[in-house]
Structure 1
């Protein structure tokens, strides 16, 4: 990895698409709102999803882009990943690349996860049980395990000046302030005019009309209250207390 690379990390359904779009605008948007990059700029690319070489038939999301094409991109490359730290390239630590980690209330993440692609056959209750299971069978693994591993990695292995932590709820509450903080971390100057364009480009309404739209649902804060039973809420609170004990 290069010193100019940017790695956006998160557990699934915690704001990856939103974060990636904000970073992409900061890096590639001009003052008038034009995106200058020639590659895909509508949705994040997870390098581990790409074929090593271009395939004959285009992917519905990534077109003909391959892993080698992605690595050959010019300028600041933006990686997105749900992978736990132990699966990330060692060069993340040894290079000067910047790491951004966005977190979200696990209750809202659980609801968003359950509704991704429509509720499963066993409904919300079944999805909740899988989410809270210490051996969570979801492809993304356990929220709690991911959280603890990321916290330890960022605290012990990644220099503080290389990492930036964001909260989904803070971005919802005051997006412009959070974008300003992020721009400062990435050493990017943002004018008032460009900031206005970024805010327009990264609204949920705007993102819904892109290739990444299918990854977005509501982006609400506190929707879990419409889904959790009292028992489920108590069990989640207990899981947070026990399994995230000692976390900040």
Structure 2
């Protein structure tokens, strides 16, 4: 049976109640049957354009810090965050449907955009850790629309309304957006030892507090001495959008033949949506947000 089709920067098909990019559908099917999670695995999961690149750099640096390794010698200077924490469906299983991942030393770090219901059963049932990062729907839409319309070489002024309608209808990559977010939110409430739910806005407002939460969650907490020595703030500064943009690897490199590293960085600010959305758009998306988050305890 042919799957329903749509487009949002990429051609998509509706599979397991979410809009999967056609280019990764076979990879998704392969990883669901092949991937075996380890209890020590750590997953970064989110919707596209909600801070993936930024958070990967933060998590990788947090986990790989040590007393004799100065932050200035970070692998981030040589590799994109997407190479250091690779996507299961976009990078790993797209290249090889049965990759040998057993030789990766623990903790293995992976990322995915898959909704919770579509994760491999071993991920759900093992003791692995999931860090879910989300962003307010307004900024998420603006960031995704600007990114994907540029990818399609569309005029941003003529593409906005079409992209907005699709986003509101749930027809965006890995969407519906609200189903994706609420799915992980509920899991974080039911199993807080397994799923840590983070908001982009909280990371921007108090990065030190949130980074320490992450450290505790992945059982790699900051010592009092590290805090006094400014290690937490050092990681935040190193992994800021401004700092990442200036790294040579992110100016010229590619983490994949189809993606320039520089394409993953825009402004990285909270509230930029006010410069793009009309009052009727805000009203429409607010109503949808209220309907989907009602009774969940989740708000932005």
1:237 aligns with 2:286: yes
Match of 2:87 among 38, 46, 62: 46
User: In the aligned structure 1, how far is the partner of 2:275 from the partner of 2:293?
Assistant: 24
- 1:52–1:240: structure 2 CA closer, same or farther, 3 Å change rule? closer
Unaligned 5+ residue runs, structure 2? 1-36, 254-260
In proportion to residue count, which structure has more strand? 2
SS at match of 1:50: helix
Alpha-carbon offset, residue 85 of structure 1: 1.1
User: In the aligned structure 2, how far is the partner of 1:205 from the partner of 1:93?
Assistant: 35
1:98-131 alpha-carbon deviations (Å, 9 max, x no partner): 1111111100000000011444454212211111
- 1:51–1:67: structure 2 CA closer, same or farther, 3 Å change rule? farther
User: Could you tell me whether the CA contact under 8 Å between 2:58 and 2:239 is conserved in 1?
Assistant: yes
1:169-223 alpha-carbon deviations (Å, 9 max, x no partner): 0111111121111111112133134324312321112222325432121111111
* Superposition TM-score, scaled by structure 1 size: 0.83
Aligned partner of 1:73 in structure 2 is: 104
User: In the aligned structure 2, how far is the partner of 1:7 from the partner of 1:67?
Assistant: 19
1:174 aligns with 2:206: yes
SS at match of 1:102: strand
- 1:45–1:229: structure 2 CA closer, same or farther, 3 Å change rule? same
SS at match of 1:247: coil
Aligned partner of 2:15 in structure 1 is: none
Q: How many residues align?
A: 233
Aligned partner of 1:59 in structure 2 is: none
Aligned partner of 2:185 in structure 1 is: 151
Aligned partner of 2:29 in structure 1 is: none
The structure with higher relative contact order (CA 8 Å, sep 6+) is 1
Match of 1:217 among 266, 279, 291: 266
User: In the aligned structure 2, how far is the partner of 1:54 from the partner of 1:113?
Assistant: 25
1:37-84 alpha-carbon deviations (Å, 9 max, x no partner): 9x95632311112355978xxxxxxxxxx9725553112111111101
SS at match of 1:189: coil
* Superposition TM-score, scaled by structure 2 size: 0.70
User: Could you tell me whether the CA contact under 8 Å between 1:30 and 1:194 is conserved in 2?
Assistant: no
Aligned partner of 1:58 in structure 2 is: none
Aligned partner of 2:24 in structure 1 is: none
User: In the aligned structure 1, how far is the partner of 2:95 from the partner of 2:162?
Assistant: 39
